[in-house]
Every structure is written in C-alpha cells, then in structure tokens.
Chains A and B, each alone.
Chain A
Amino acid sequence: MDLRYTDQELAFRDELRGWLAHALEDVPDEPPRDDWAARREFDTSWQRRLFDAGYAGIDWPREFGGRGGTPTEQLIFLEETTRAGAPYVGVNFVGLLHAGPTLAAEASDEQRAEHLPKILRGDEVWCQGFSEPGAGSDLASLQTKAVRDGEDYVVNGSKIWTSFAQVADYCELLVRTDTPKHKGITWLICSMSLPGIEVRPLKTIQGSSEFSEVFFNDVRVPAINRVGDENDGWRVAMVTFSFERGTAFVSELLDSMQLLKRLVELCKRNGRWEDAGVRRELAHLSCDFDALWALTKRNITQAERSGIPGPGGSVFKLSYSEARHKLGDLAMRVLDEATLSGESEEHIRGWMHAMSITIAAGTSQIQRNILAERVLGLPR
C-alpha cells in the first residue's frame, strides 16, 4: 500500500494550483438559491472554463472529451479545487457524477459520443428521474409506464424529488416496460424539452426549491435513447447507484472538512473552544473526516481494480452522513441563539443538509439492509 502521489501526479497538482490561482480571480458571486437560471449559468460556465483549461472529466477517457487521467488525479483535482474554494459541481452533479459514468459504462458508442463531451463542456445538464410518489426505497415498484409505439416509447406517469429538473436538458429516466418487478424496468435517456413533460418545483426545508415533481403525459421518447436492453434497466440502475453512492460524495467530504475548520475558527473566536466537551467533539469529527478520506482512497483503489465502485460506497455514505449530523448538531449547539436569525447561514444550511443525506441516494436504513444482506450475507 502507498499513499504517495507520483511525480506525474504532483506535477499535475502544481499545474492545477497555478491555474486555479488566477482562474478564481474573476469568478462572480454565487447566485441566490432560487434563481435557477443564474445557478445554471454559474455552474455551467465554471464547468466550461474547466473544460477549456483541460480540467473537465479528469479520469474520463480522452475519446469522450476527458483528460484520460487516473482516479488519483481526480482525487487531487477535488482536493485542490475544494482547498482553493472553487465552485462546486452544482447542477452538473448528475451528469458528471452518475449519469455520465453510467453512459460511459453501459451506453452505445453513439450515445456516448452524443452526450459525454457535452456533459463535460457544461452544455448538458442532467437530472435523475428514478423516485416516484409510490416508489422510493422500494424503487423497483416504480409505475411510470413506457409503451412501445413504432420507433418511440410513449411515457406516462410521474417522478418526484427530481433534483435540478428545473434546469436539466436530459433525464436518466427509469420506466416500466413490463410487469415483472425487477425485470420489467428500462433505463432511458429522456430529453426534458419533449412535449408532455411538466416540472413543478417543491420547496425544501431549506426554504429553496432544490427538487421537483415531474409529470409525463404521452411523452414520446425515441427508442434509440434506451441504455441497455429493454427490461434490463434495473441492472443499469445498479451501475448508476454504484457511482452515486460510491464516488459522488467525495467532494462533499472535502467540503465538510472545510466547514468543520470554519466552525473550529468560530469556536476559537467566541470562546467555546475553551470548553473541553466542545473541543473534543470537534476533534473527534476531524478524526472521523480524516478516516473517511482514507476510506475514500481505499474505495477509489478498489474501483480502479474492478472498474465500478463496490460496497465501500455504502459504508462511506452511512458513516459520512452520520458525521454530518453530528457536525450540524454541534454547530447549532455552539451557535446557540445566533441560530435564531440568518447569521452563520452556512452552518444552519449544513445542519439541514445533513438530514437530506441520510435519505437521498438510498436511505441509511436501505444502506444497512444492503450491507447486511449483500456483504455480510444475512438472510433476507
């Protein structure tokens, strides 16, 4: 085992640091949470700048517009961009972190050529149409129906909790094409501009509309936009999940480490650091995050060997989301009456955010079921 970066990786890091130092000078202020047009513009123009500078899709193959680097270089990229305070992936989350990787692993050459370079350039924003009102944890019970009619699938039904739907160009859409629960699902690439799609934003506990309901009314999706075979979509969705749970949270972890540092600084300023109880809890969280960073490196190594992230993703997500709950609760305690008004907004947002990550991408209970049944082999 080794944790050293190679000379080539260090050279990459230095070059990236140099580029970030001046590239960040003219990044505008972040737009308000509910100005989705501005959010899209902010996130995609940063993605475009990364692309133009050769820093988009660090570990994606060159043929898809990526840099053709190693997963380790991708980690370095995340470390450096977080440390420098560069914009977060934002609306590019689904495209870059799980739809894109799923296409790279499962789609046809034409589909890859069509979408992957555009995702990397920030020209295409994606959303994930998996969950439905009646199908959350039990995702395979989904009912949004697709009926083959000539060259198209005609889609009817509705999705819910769809993040970025307001601004997405495409949706990774799971539809029912047959009755058998798991063997009747198909994975489609669905353009969000097709007639018959309606997006209704939902307001979250954070006060902004982070996700939406999406209604499909006789939407004609060309059958050539199917990824994998008809009725083989559950298997493809599992590939999507392995990326979503396996690697998508890495940049969040780095962000959390920064958030913790800022909370420590705040405590040092307001005197709470002198309280041994508070100090030790902060220190414990820093140990938790360090350990999760080590676990990330293990998961990346394993993914590099097998091509697809393994169950380490569920271990990571469970542990990481719990640490975020602790961080949020501690911040609220430390801030005390300062939480009553909008001061220290990032810590209050972070506290609420923690509550979404034990739910999104498979709840903690579902992750525990997965580990118990698929990794530890306990009976169903």
Chain B
Amino acid sequence: MNFDLGSDELALRDAIRELCTREFPVRRRFDRAGWKQLADAGVFSLRQSHGAGLGMTESVIVFEELGRALVAGPLVATHLAAGLFDADVVTCLDGDIATYPEADVLLQMGGEYVYAIEQFDFTPLEPLDPLTPVGRVGPGVAGSRLDVDPRQLQGLGAALTAALSSGIASRTVELAVEYAKERTQFDKPIGSFQAVKHMCADMFVRAEVARAAIDAAGVMLDEHHDDVARAVTGAKLLASEAAIANCKTCIQVFGGMGFTWEVDVHLYLKRAAVLATQFGGVDHQAELAASRI
C-alpha cells in the first residue's frame, strides 16, 4: 500500500498543471484548437493502449488539474468515448439537455444502454455557467447502441467528474488564502482574523478529505476492488459538496469583490454546480450509497 503521489504521478500532475497555466487561462472558452492541445497532451487517450496505457489512478490526477484550472469543454465524455469510437468532441445528453451541444457526438446513457448520437439539432439555452454552453436537443434523435456496460461507463464518468470537482475544491482554498494574505482591513491582513482563518481551515479540510476519497476511488477502479462502486459514489458525493461549499466560502472571504462578475470565484462556483448535476447529483449519490451500506 502506498497512497500518496509517487514521482511519476507528481511529474504527470506537474506537466498538466504547467500546460493549463500556459494555455488555459480561467476564462478561455471551449475551442477546437485548445481541444486539440488537450488531445495531444493525452488527456483523452490516457487509458488507451495506443495512448499512454495508464489507468484511472492517473486519469483522476489529470482531471483534478483540469478542474483546478477550470478548463472548459466536455472533458469527461470525450475521455470516456476515446475507447469506444473516433470523434473529436463528445458530450453527454442528459434528458433532452446537453452541455457543449456543438459537440460532434452525444453520449446518451440509460440504466441498461449507451447510445452514440451523431445526427441532432439543438436550441441554445441561457447557461448557468457562462463557460459551459447548454442546449435543448431534439426533437427526435436516433443513435447507435454501443456495446459497453452502462454502469461501468457511468462509474468512470462519476469518478472523473468528482476529480474535476475536487480540483475546484483545492484551487479555491488557494484563492481564498492568497486573498486573505493581501487584503487588509483594520490595518491588518484579513487572514490574521481568526474567523477568516477558520473558514480557510475548513475549506482545506473539505478539499483534502474529498481528494483522498477521489484518489482512492481512482486506485480502486484500477485494482477492481470489491468496494469500488461505494468508493466512487462517496467520492462523487463529497467532492460535489466540497467544491460548492468551498466556492461559497471563497466568495465570503473575498467580501464584496467575491460577488462581482470580475473576480473569477463565481466561475468556479457555477462550474461546481454544473458538475454536481452530472453523473448523478448529491441526493442520487446518497441513495446509491444507501443501497451499498
């Protein structure tokens, strides 16, 4: 047993972090040139034998980084599709709603099936997250059924989505702490006030617990552990909650600035809210966890 990032994992994490810092500023919208850069970096083909041939352990580490950097685009669905068919941009269809509806293919997952839909129309909707476009798909789409286990695919999707959320939870701790060191009131940095310190400490605790949960789920997926389904569910639940709670606390630490469009924190909050709905929301995960106690 060895449950902290080893040197290869740290190198992978640093490489992705560096790519994100260089190429993906927080407000960069989804664009196909950027998508190609991510594909070339192996973000989608990570687990494929023609790619790096790595596992979910590494994919989770990569997705935590993409989450931290708030990289836009249907990252999870495109990653899941990499092993199934050839397409550049793949997104998920949830009911009749799709995020990034300009994608090439829609993945529709039910309890017993997965469809790939190539022909579809959509009507753009006003998105919650300005960087996550949303559309209403249809009416009347038809796709081809894929020969995959839908539960397994959903588990992987939940894990990768949780990793993105966990990245947001960790990044917002840093944002809050940096601001708390700079901003002064009463002639002192606000970070010297205990009420602010304790908000930051609680953020750190939530982020670290969620990160342990999702890292463990990644490893357990690779190891085909008996309790893996429960681990994925727990990680999705805790990471969704940690991301939203940390974004909200971060806004509180930023004061009035935190409530402005200009400061990035609301973008993290809105992304966290989007991610929480994907691959099963908090109540759904809690019910799944209840069935696995």
Q: List residues of A whose CB falls within 8 A of some B CB.
A: 1-5, 9, 72, 75, 261, 264, 276, 279-280, 282-284, 286-288, 290-292, 294-295, 297-298, 300-302, 305, 312, 315, 318-319, 365, 367-369, 371-373, 375-380
Contact = CB atoms under 8 A, between A and B. Distances in A.
Given A376-B201, A377-B181, A286 B192 contact: no
Contacts of B6: 1
Given A290-B230, A294-B215, A376-B177, A2 B201 contact: no
B210 interface: yes
Contact of B293 (A1, A9, A282): A282
Given A1-B6, A288-B238, A295 B209 contact: yes
A3 B1 contact: yes
Contacts, number: 158
A1 B57 CA distance: 7
19 contacts: A1-B9, A2-B2, A3-B225, A4-B223, A279-B286, A282-B293, A286-B293, A291-B213, A291-B234, A294-B216, A295-B212, A298-B3, A298-B215, A301-B1, A302-B4, A315-B208, A369-B198, A376-B177, A379-B192
A363 B87 CA distance: 54
Contact of A1 (B4, B177, B188, B197): B4
A286 B289 contact: yes
A301 B233 CA distance: 24
A286 B212 CA distance: 15
Interface in B1-28: 1-6, 9
- Closest 5 CB pairs between A and B? A287-B234, A372-B197, A294-B216, A283-B289, A291-B213
A377 B205 contact: no
Contacts of A298: 3-4, 212, 215
Given A378-B180, A379-B189, A319 B205 contact: yes
B215 A291 contact: no
A126 to B, nearest CB: 29
A290 B1 contact: no
Given A1-B57, A3-B219, A292-B209, A287 B197 contact: no
A378 B176 CA distance: 11
Contacts of A9: 1
Interface of B: 1-6, 9, 57, 173, 177, 180-181, 188-189, 191-192, 194, 196-198, 200-202, 204-205, 208-210, 212-213, 215-216, 218-220, 223, 225, 227, 230-231, 233-235, 237-238, 283, 285-290, 293
A376 B200 contact: yes
A372 B196 CA distance: 9
A46 B76 CA distance: 52
A376 B188 CA distance: 17
Contact of A301 (B3, B204, B286): B3
A171 to B, nearest CB: 32
Given A286-B289, A287-B234, A291-B235, A72 B1 contact: yes
Contacts of A367: 201
Contact of A368 (B202, B210, B289): B202
B3 A294 contact: yes
A375 B289 contact: no
Given A286-B234, A290-B234, A318-B202, 9 more contacts: A279-B286, A282-B290, A287-B237, A291-B209, A298-B3, A301-B2, A377-B177, A379-B181, A379-B188
A298 B3 CA distance: 5
Contacts of B220: 3
B3 A3 contact: yes
Nearest to B210: A291
Majority secondary structure, A binding face: helix
Contacts of A369: 194, 197-198, 201
B173 to A, nearest CB: 7
B5 A1 contact: yes
Contacts of B225: 3
Counting chain A CB atoms within 10 Å of each CB, the highest count among B180, B213, B287 belongs to B213
B189 A279 contact: no
A140 to B, nearest CB: 18
A372 B198 contact: yes
Contact of B204 (A4, A279, A376, A379): A376
Contacts of B192: 378-380
Contacts of A295: 208-209, 212-213
Counting chain B CB atoms within 10 Å of each CB, the highest count among A261, A298, A300, A375 belongs to A298
A279 B290 CA distance: 6
A96 B14 CA distance: 40
A350 to B, nearest CB: 18
A253 to B, nearest CB: 12
Contacts of A315: 204-205, 208-209
Given A3-B219, A280-B290, A378 B230 contact: no
Contacts of B188: 379
Contact of A371 (B189, B201, B219): B201
Counting chain A CB atoms within 10 Å of each CB, the highest count among B181, B196, B216 belongs to B216
Nearest to A287: B234
Contacts of B219: 1-3
Nearest to B206: A319
A280 B180 contact: no
Nearest to A317: B205
A280 B44 CA distance: 34
A114 B176 CA distance: 50
A282 B292 CA distance: 11
Contacts of B198: 365, 368-369, 372
B194 to A, nearest CB: 7
Contacts of B177: 376-378
A280 B213 contact: no
Nearest to B236: A287
B293 A375 contact: no
Contacts of B218: 1
A164 to B, nearest CB: 29
Nearest to A3: B219
B4 A301 contact: yes
Nearest to B194: A369
A317 B285 CA distance: 25
